[in-house]
Each structure stands twice: as structure tokens, then as C-alpha cells.
Amino acid sequence: MTAVRCIDICKTYTQGDVDIKALDHLSIEIEKGEFVCLMSPSGGGKTTLLNAIGGLDIPDSGEVWVGGQRIDQMSKGELAELRLANIGFVFQAYNLIPVLTARENVEFVMQVQGVRPAERHVKSMVLLEEVGLEGLEDRLPAEMSGGQQQRVAVARAIVSRPELVLADEPTANLDSHTAADLMELFVQLNEHHQTTFVIATHDQGVMRYAKRLVRMRDGRIVDDVQQNAA
């Protein structure tokens, strides 16, 4: 089953008098349950592609399909519903709500989805234990390390068991040991729940966990290989 399909997508940004092709007639298919890393030099297009897949950025032309739905023609409201129900996001900046505890941050998505309080509580507590944060549920983000905050962000992204998780430089602010722990967690989630992961990264340490490595340059795919993950 195809989780993501991009067909001949283009995206151009204008900086001053210069047009920059962030995506240049790019096509890619990602099957359900794949673990994919997107790699490119800075400005090579990996973040733009990730944003297009997540409906955060609409291409100028071409088609983007997620879970059998064409999203590049959706309204903002339809995209918001799709992201809420089907896509988890993990960003370089953790984007946690500073006045909410770890548990409350994880519960936030479920609250928006209308999940009952008792069910939200149970799911968040179970998942925080799963990501190694048992006993830290009532801490505010400012009371946690960077690695712990990123784990809260991961828990929030996956608590509703989305079919697709998109991660943009998720290890950029982490030391090598914490980054490795995070990637092991991603691998477990991918293998145990068949969650599809698409990760944009510069980090060679992250790339070795990928089962598929897609290299980009100037908005195009220049290499797409299967590899034996770490």
C-alpha cells in the first residue's frame, strides 16, 4: 500500500530578484511501513519536500497523495483535519507548549480530537513510559533536558497512532548518545506499529538507521537506495 506519492512536483521561491527551484519536477513513492531518510545539502529541497508531504507547503504544480488522498488540492480546513488524524510531526524545535506538563503536551492533540479525558490520560501515561519518561509526566518543558523534550514531542506526534510521521532534523539539538536513543525509538515504532517514517536530516548517524536513503540536490532526487539499517 502506498503511503505517499508525489508526482512531478515543482516549487519555486523568490528571494529578491532570484527564483530558487526548491523542488524541480520531483516524483517519489513511499510504501506504508517504510523508514526513509531524505538527505541533501542545505537548500537541496529535503525540507520543502517534507513540508509538501505534510501539507504545510503547497507545490506550484504536480500532485501530492497521502494515504490515497490528493492533498495539494485540499482546503486549509481539510488539510488541518488530515494532519490531525493521519500525520505526526517532529521538528528540530520541539514546539512544546511551555505552560503545559509533559503529559498535558502529549494529551493536547487528543484533546483537539475530542478524546475523552480518562482515555487521554491513560494513553499519554502509557506512551510516556514507552518513550522512557516514566516519572517525568508532570514536569514542564523548562524542567527537562533537550533529549527529554524531544521525547515528549515524539510522544505527542505518535500518541494517536498516525499512519505517517514526518521528522525534520529531529536530532539537530541532541548529543550523539541521545540522538541514537531517539533513532532506536523511531525504529521500534516503525517495526512494532508499521508507522511510516520520513526523516529529513544532515546527520550521518541518523542516515544509518534508514532502510531507504533518498539523496537530493537542487530540488531533484539524485540517488534512491535501499540499505541495511543499523
130: CB partners within 8 A, 6+ apart: 155
Q: What's the CA gap between 103 and 81, in Å, rounded?
A: 23
> Which domain CATH number covers 213?
3.40.50.300
- Along the 230 residues of the chain, how does pLDDT read in single tens digits? 899 999 999 999 988 888 889 999 999 999 999 999 999 888 789 999 999 999 999 999 999 999 999 999 999 999 988 888 889 998 877 789 999 999 999 999 889 888 999 999 999 998 898 888 889 999 999 999 888 898 898 888 888 888 899 999 888 777 888 788 888 888 988 888 888 999 999 888 888 899 999 999 999 999 999 988 66
The domain of 17 spans 2-226
Pick the closest to residue 36 from 216, 174, 199, 202 (CA basis).
199
Q: How many domains does the chain have?
A: 1
pTM of the model: 0.89
164: β partners = 87, 196
Owner of C-alpha cell 550521518: 204
Rounded CA-CA distance 136/124 in Å is 12
- Residue 112's contacts (CB-CB under 8 Å, 6 or more residues apart) are 84
